Amino acid sequence: MLATVASATLVGVDGRFVTVEVHVSTGVPSFQVVGLPDASCREARDRARAAVVSSGLTWPQTRLTVNLAPSGVRKAGPGLDLPIALGVLAASGQLKLSSLKGLAFVGELGLDGSLRKVPGVLPLVAAISEAGGGAGAGGPGAAPEVVVVPPDCAVEAGLLGRLEVRTSAHLRELVAALEGRGGWPPLPEAAGEPDDPAPPDLADVKGQALGRQALEVAAAGGHHLLLVGPAGAGKTMLATRLPGLLPELSTEEALEVAKIHSAAGLNVASGALCRRPPFRSPHHSASAVSLVGGGGARLRPGEISCAHNGVLFLDELAEFPGSVLDNLRQPLEEGRVVVCRASATVAFPARFMLVAAMNACRCGADGSPGSCRCPPAARARYVGRISGPLLDRFDLRVRVRCPEVDELLGSSVNVASGEPSLVAARRVEGARERARQRGVRCNAELPAVALSEVAPLSAGARRLLERRLREGRLSARGLDRSRRVALTVADLAGDDAPLREEHVLVALALRAPGILGHDAGEGAHWPTGETQRVRATAT
Amino acid sequence: MRDTGEAGDVAGTGDVAGTGDVAGTGDTRDASGMSMRPTWSGTGRTTSLSEMSGLGAPGSGPPLGLPPGAYAAALASLPGVGPGWLAELLANWGPEQAWVRALAGQVAPPRVPAQRGERNAGASGRVSDAARRMDVAGLWQRCLQRGIEVTWFGGQGYPSALASGPAPPGVLFSVGDIGWVERCPVVAVVGTRRCSPEGAATAYELARDLALAGVCVVSGLALGIDGAAHAGALSGFQQAGEVPPAASTVGVAASGVDVVYPRQHAALWRRVASAGAVVSETPPGSPAQPWRFPARNRVIAGLARLVVVVESHTTGGSWHTVDAALRRGVEVAAVPGSVHSPSCAGTNSLLRDGATPVRGAEDVLDALGLCASVGAPQAPPKGAGSPDGLDPIGPVEEKVLVALGWRPLCLEDVVERSGLPVGAVVVALERLEAAGAVVSEEGGWWSRRA
């Protein structure tokens, strides 16, 4: 006798619809699971058997074959325990085949028959809802309209809102409900609000006019931000305020984030869909795989994917191994990362804003002229850990200074109390709206060819840029990037095109190319004009 | 003992015991070689002639028919040879005779204490062994190929300033024209490697004006002040088109003259060698060992009539130059700096101790007793006007200037101190820079110009 049960498994951060087929035939009692199960999936045999027996049902003493279709896709994780157990019960006649029609099941079984939480319920439910009638020849006749999940996953499964979600705490109760002998237990109450605490407010930051401006420009334009400064200057403090400035995620974006977090095994939601952009700050001992994603049989999303549509904050950037950091270059360029393993190739979404903080040198005195105790070579070595191409990705590079005593104690009259995040967030929202009218989410995504059209230069700004280019203080690539930043600066100020000298100057100041330029070698400290001339005569 | 400056980087040993006795080499240098002439008795163990691999007997002519410079170079390349002993040897016998005596094992470095006479005898044997293994012809060939000239104490072309001072280098290797130090008054412009941008600019301008005035600038080819001084002198020398009053610059290296250290200065090194000279008492091909830097600094002090310290921390290699200068009776001058700047702390304390203050080339020329008006160019007129034709100094600019003060500040500090919005400050700084009132330096530092 044959029974089929609808379920799903995780591939990367996406679900894949799976049909569990159970065949019972006469022969020597045995139990085979075929269809590329991994170790934790193959162990389902033992869990399912124990759960069935614990629930007061009978395990058939016949030849059992379980096929997980499509059999070409590797199945990982314990989420198929429940469908396998139900398939066995149906195939052995302990459950009516019709009672499984239109239902899909996801869940891990305990040996006592209880249903346990599994990671990635959101993408699994999404895959089941998308499967519809097109599940292929092996699929059940009707598309599932109801999904049954463990109680702990019910809220998460309900986020999608496309399928009816039912739950049950125990296999025995579930069988009773399916047979019509008992009712379905009520769904757990969803908390009304996302339960994450409000992000810290910008009003707590004392002074730091330039840092605030950089943060605002970064939030408005989606520009990657590098904060350089001595220990205790408030780099981390500034960076953690960024999520409070970013606009809320749209439903689609929030679902994307929730799916990734669900697949990564993070706590997704106990209430409504979280619309706040994620903020991830991995420690600098992070391995390359933990950052970009990968792993064993089941490829997990890394930190950069968990920061998708949000902020990836790398504190102490120079302490990250260079080989780990250079893995970020492709995702920064493409907004996704493709992880290839022998078992599978998976593309993880990874469109994040990179915010990094570091000291300018090892002694922490920030390399200010005359005060730093590091020999020049040591300083060059320290900042040399950041590769040029990665450094180039930062549109904003800002020096953060230790606030002065007056600012800290608030005793000075002329230090305005910090502006709260809400005010800045409103300006950011306005700037993002302008970007949307240009057809992009934020200015950092503007293609270079569109710049002359959307960001024309005033005569003064043109003269200024020309001068900088001639002096060799600005490169061609730097020109485009500065122009995008200048456009964001103008957007924030509410100014219309063309870009004025002031906007360009602020952009150039926020991009400070020489902020780590101690390694410039010969002539780094000679008067600029003279150096140029001397070099010219020398060559 | 002060930190050996450049030396720290080379071997990572940090604080190396001053003038010699470096762990690991152990046999190389007289610890007191700078102040005290070592004595050599000349009665070392006599090696029987039969042991001497068929070479000419002592007192006969040159053994291999090479010029004397070749033997001077060979003597300097022997292990365990210090400058004092080398100078004594060369002054007494001349290169050829000294070489023959070294081969014969009749001479030994005197640094081994008297109560360990046996070891001393062993040392003379070691010298003769090393001398026999030495490929003198190959060494000389290398010098010729690379245009390295060899002068020795007591020989022709040896700088007279060094010859008359204490602890002269025995042998000097040079590329370029070492005659500059004879033809022109010589001033050493030295300072820290970790200098501020103003310090580098001061060194650059000072050296340029001195070169234009016909003063030969000597320095150590190091990063920071030294490099800026050489670059400035070269700039002045080229500006003057090499007409007689202008002088070039001479770099004194701690490594061999064909071993560039630090590597960032490869181009500067070449330019100094071609326009002036690069000098070293280290044999060609030898790297810059930590103990060589203080020794190099004594040569700088010995060549100069005046040592100008442009910027110096309270410790560092510049102090070796100052100590050596004082020991030789060479006048020391210093450029005053901000009392807040750590890189000016050393120079300011020198001034307090009575060093001559130097504000520019005129002060140096005054101290040398030269006419101050020679050749020094007029500074280019400042305040050429902002590009947009507006008055460069408006009320906002005035406020920014006040906030800037006389210390290098980064943009963040200027914004914080002036209380102005970021946009206004950057526009004001741009105008002021165009007007020449402020300069921006590598790393985003702004400073005001007098």
CATH code assigned at B407: 1.10.10.10
Residue with the two structure tokens 């400058």: B83
Q: Is the per-residue pLDDT at B275 higher than 70?
A: yes
Question: If we measure between CA atoms, which residue out of B336, B380, B340, B369 comes closest to residue B355?
Answer: B336
pLDDT the model gives residue B14: 37
Distance CA A212, CA B181 (A): 57
Please enumerate, as own/partner, the contacts of B25-29 that have beta carbons within 8 Å and a separation of 24 or more.
B25/B289, B25/B291, B27/B79, B27/B80, B27/B109, B27/B111, B27/B123, B27/B126, B28/B79, B28/B80, B28/B81, B28/B82, B28/B291, B29/B82, B29/B111, B29/B291, B29/B295
What residues make up the domain containing B233?
A: 177-368
Reference B305, options B272, B332, B277; nearest CA is B332
Is the model's pLDDT at B406 over the cut of 80? no
State the nearest Cα–Cα gap between A525 and chain B, in angstroms.
5
Residues 397-436 of A with CB under 8 A from B: 398-401, 404, 407, 414
- Contact status of B204 with chain A (Cβ, < 8 Å): yes
With a cut of 80, say whether residue B329 has pLDDT above it.
yes
Q: What per-residue confidence (pLDDT) applies to B60?
A: 43
Q: Which of residues 182-211 of A touch B (CB under 8 A)?
A: 207-211
Tokens read off for A118: 């599994």
CATH level 2 (architecture), domain A202-448:
3-Layer(aba) Sandwich (3.40)
Please identify among residues 370-389 of chain B the ones whose CB lies closer than 8 Å to any CB of chain A: 387-388
Q: Decide if B415 touches A, using CB distance below 8 A.
A: yes
> Is the alpha carbon torsion for B197, B202, B204, B205 positive or negative?
positive
Q: Which member of B267, B388, B412 has the closest CB to residue A538?
A: B267
CATH number, domain containing residue B349? 3.40.50.450
Mean pLDDT of B287-304: 92
What mean pLDDT is predicted for residues B187-211? 90
pLDDT given at position A11? 85
Distance in Å, alpha carbon of B204 to nearest chain A alpha carbon: 7
Residues of chain A with CATH 3.40.50.300: 202-448
Whether residues B223 and B289 share a domain: the answer is yes
Structural domain includes residue B3: no
In contact, A307 and A280? CB cutoff 8 Å = yes
Write out residues in chain A with pLDDT < 50, as ranges: 133-140, 412-415, 518-539
Instruction: Give φ, ψ of B439 to 5 degrees.
Output: -130, 145
Rounded mean pLDDT of B336-342? 88
Under DSSP, is residue B328 helix (H, G, I), strand (E, B) or coil? helix
- Are B309 and B346 contained in the same domain? yes
Backbone angles phi, psi at B112, to 5 degrees: -70, 130
Residues B57 and B137 in one domain: yes
Contacts of B311 in chain A (CB under 8 A): 370
**Dihedral (C-alpha) A157, A159, A160, A164: value to the nearest 10 degrees?**
60
Residue B266 has pLDDT above 70, yes or no: yes
- List the single residue in B with minimal CA-CA distance to A379: B194
Q: Which chain B residues are closer than 8 Å to A398 by Cβ?
A: 412
* Residue in chain A nearest B195 by alpha carbon: A370
In a domain, B115, yes or no: yes
Quick check: B194 and A370 CB within 8 A? yes
**Whether pLDDT at B29 is above 70:** no
Peptide bond into A498 cis (omega under 30): yes
Domain boundary among B368, B385, B419: B368
The pLDDT of residue B175 is 94
Nearest-by-CA chain B residue for A375: B194
B390 touches chain A (CB under 8 A): no
Q: Does B111 touch chain A (CB under 8 A)?
A: no
Q: Give CATH 3.30.230.10 domain extents, chain A.
A: 2-179
Same domain, B309 and B426: no
What is the residue-wise DSSP string for B18-41? Answer: TTS--TTT-SS--TTTTTS-----
Return d(Cα B142, Cα B136) in angstroms, integer: 10
DSSP states along B186-223? EEEEE--SS--HHHHHHHHHHHHHHHHTTPEEEE---T
Whether A293 and A263 have beta carbons less than 8 Å apart is answered as: no
Per the structure block, which two tokens stand in for B411? 């943009």
In this structure, the answer to whether residues B121 and B266 fall within a common structural domain is: no
CB A10 within 8 A of CB A124: yes
Contact B421 A538 (CB under 8 A): no
Q: What is the mean pLDDT of residues B132-147?
A: 90
Contact A524 B442 (CB under 8 A): yes
B15 in contact with A, Cβ within 8 Å: no
Do the Cβ atoms of A390 and A328 come closer than 8 Å? yes
- A168 and A184 Cβ atoms separated by less than 8 Å: yes
Would you state the pLDDT for residue A158?
A: 86
Q: How confident is the model at residue B378 (pLDDT cuts 50, 70, 90)?
A: very low
**A377 touching chain B per CB within 8 A:** yes
Residue at B92 is within a domain: yes
Is B326 a domain residue?
yes
* A209:B421 CB<8 A: yes
Looking at residue A68, its pLDDT comes to 92
Q: Which residues are bridge partners to A280 per DSSP? A: A312
- In the predicted model, is pLDDT for residue B188 greater than 90? yes
* B220 found inside a domain: yes
Residue B426 sits at φ, ψ, to 5 deg, of -65, -35
* CATH, range A2-179: 3.30.230.10
Average pLDDT over residues B42-51: 36
Q: In whole angstroms, what is the distance from residue A81 CA to residue A85 CA?
A: 6
- B134/B254 same-domain check: no
Could you tell me if B127 and B200 lie in one domain? no
* Residue of chain A whose Cα is closest to the Cα of B229: A526
Q: Do A522 and B267 touch (CB under 8 A)?
A: yes
In Å, what is the CA distance from B369 to each residue of A57, A62, A439, B411, B416? 113, 115, 74, 44, 48
**Pair B234, B146 in one domain:** no
Same domain, B340 and B219: yes
Question: Mind telling me how many Å the CA of A115 is from chain B's nearest CA?
Answer: 58
Q: Does B128 touch chain A (CB under 8 A)?
A: no
- Identify residue B450 by its one-letter amino acid code: A
Q: Which two tokens stand for residue A93?
A: 């006649």
Residues B403 and B362 reside in one and the same domain = no
List of chain A residues whose C-beta atoms are within 8 Å of the C-beta of residue B265: 522
A522 Cβ under 8 Å from any chain B Cβ: yes
- The 8-class DSSP code of residue A250 comes to P
Q: Is the ipTM of this complex over 0.85?
A: no
pLDDT of residue B225: 93
For A390-424, what is each residue's pLDDT tens digit? 888 888 988 888 776 666 666 544 445 678 888 88
Do B269 and B318 lie in one domain? The reply is yes
Cβ-defined contacts of A338-343 (< 8 Å, 24+):
A339/A12, A339/A292, A339/A293, A339/A294, A339/A299, A341/A294, A341/A299, A343/A74, A343/A297, A343/A299
Number of domains in chain B: 3
Q: Do residue B195 and residue B343 come from a single domain?
A: yes
8 Å CB contact of B9 and A375: yes
Decide if B442 contacts A523 (C-beta within 8 A).
no
Q: Which of B117, B151, B185 is the last residue of a domain?
A: B151
Of B223, B235, B387, Cβ closest to residue A463: B387
Tokens read off for B292 = 């060589």
Question: Does residue B46 carry a pLDDT above 50?
Answer: no
Residue B374 in this model has a pLDDT that exceeds 90: no
- pLDDT at residue number A525: 40
> How many Å apart are CA A215 and CA A458, to the nearest integer?
26
B20 pLDDT band, cuts 50/70/90, is very low
Closest CA to A80 of A132, A17, A14: A17
| Minimum distance, in Å, between the CA of residue B353 and any CA atom of chain A | 22
